[in-house]
Chains A and B, each alone.
Chain A
Amino acid sequence: MLDVDSQKPPKGKWSTPPFDPRFPNQNQTRNCYQNFLDYHRCVKRMSRRGKSAQPCEYYFRVFHSLCPRSWVSRPRGRRRPAGGARVEGPVQLSRRPPPPRPPAPPQVQRWTEQIQEGTFAGKI
């Protein structure tokens, strides 16, 4: 199975997930989850047949755009502007380190870790 973390969307004509008529309303939870499931099912079946998982890339891009990172995998640390430098221009970048945060509560396992540990509730 392809590692989700290493699969970046390649440079192409991808803009953003299009309107999906299966999920026309405000609640897009299922849209994110369904594409996540579809991606893993696609990868599993393609690899079982010995074919390339390239057609599965669409599902990856959709759930990568829609799903909050914290639902999918453990974040790899806070992103900062490169070098923390102030840049002249119309935009004011971060000018102070964030205040110290209280210790995080125990996290719910993310989907990717659940899949790796075999505790994922969905059917792939």
Chain B
Amino acid sequence: MAYPFQLGLQDATSPIMEELLHFHDHALMIVFLISSLVLYIISLMLTTKLTHTSTMDAQEVETVWTILPAIILILIALPSLRILYMMDEINNPSLTVKTMGHQWYWSYEYTDYEDLNFDSYMIPTQELKPGELRLLEVDNRVVLPMEMTIRMLISSEDVLHSWAVPSLGLKTDAIPGRLNQTTLMAMRPGLYYGQCSEICGSNHSFMPIVLEMVPLSYFETWSALMV
């Protein structure tokens, strides 16, 4: 989850998010290098008494500052495309979970075996217990087995919503009449929070998502109790 004075991304829970985190660091480093170089050159330009008013051509420097940015762009594009294709890899999921966006809550359906479905409403601030997170806690969390590939199918019953869990690098639009698929894989147990990410009305900010990643045996116990 997010924490106060956070500057970067949340800790990665899935392999894809880990890749994205490293790519973000890589791209940001390039941005900082270029910005500091430009700032330095500007400061040099503004603090010199030298002048040169007869410039006709500058073939060498023109070549350098054309080729070098092209190389830098390639250095950004290659890892980016690598991650893009990695996200589309074919994997065989072990479980399918459907989530439907409503105004203003999420509902979840686990229908591979028995019919298990429940709604997930935000806990109002007045009803929070000590230590719980404001605007993030829900009454029924989405319990899922960790270290397993899970197919998430996301849709909506009314308006556009978006199902997002930053720690897993997931954000998928919930569109009425359309079934969007994303793949979820958490490498460690824990609680992972997200919020609706598409404006959907007055309570758009008050329909969070909480994933509870647990070992498979706990998941089986939980699902047997919930059915």
Chain A residues packing against B (C-beta within 8 Å): 8-9, 14-19, 24, 26-29, 31-32, 64-70, 75, 78-79, 81-82, 87, 89-96, 98-99, 105
Contact = CB atoms under 8 A, between A and B. Distances in A.
Given A68-B100, A91-B212, A79 B227 contact: yes
A78 B227 CA distance: 11
A78 B87 CA distance: 35
A18 B151 CA distance: 10
Contact of A16 (B90, B112, B117, B127): B112
Contacts, number: 99
B157 A29 contact: no
Nearest to A79: B117
Interface of B: 90-96, 98, 100, 109, 111-119, 121, 127, 139-141, 143, 151, 153, 155, 157-158, 172, 177-182, 212, 214, 218, 221-222, 225-227
Given A70-B157, A94-B140, 8 more contacts: A19-B90, A29-B178, A68-B100, A78-B119, A87-B225, A89-B221, A91-B212, A91-B222
Contacts of B212: 91
A66 B111 CA distance: 8
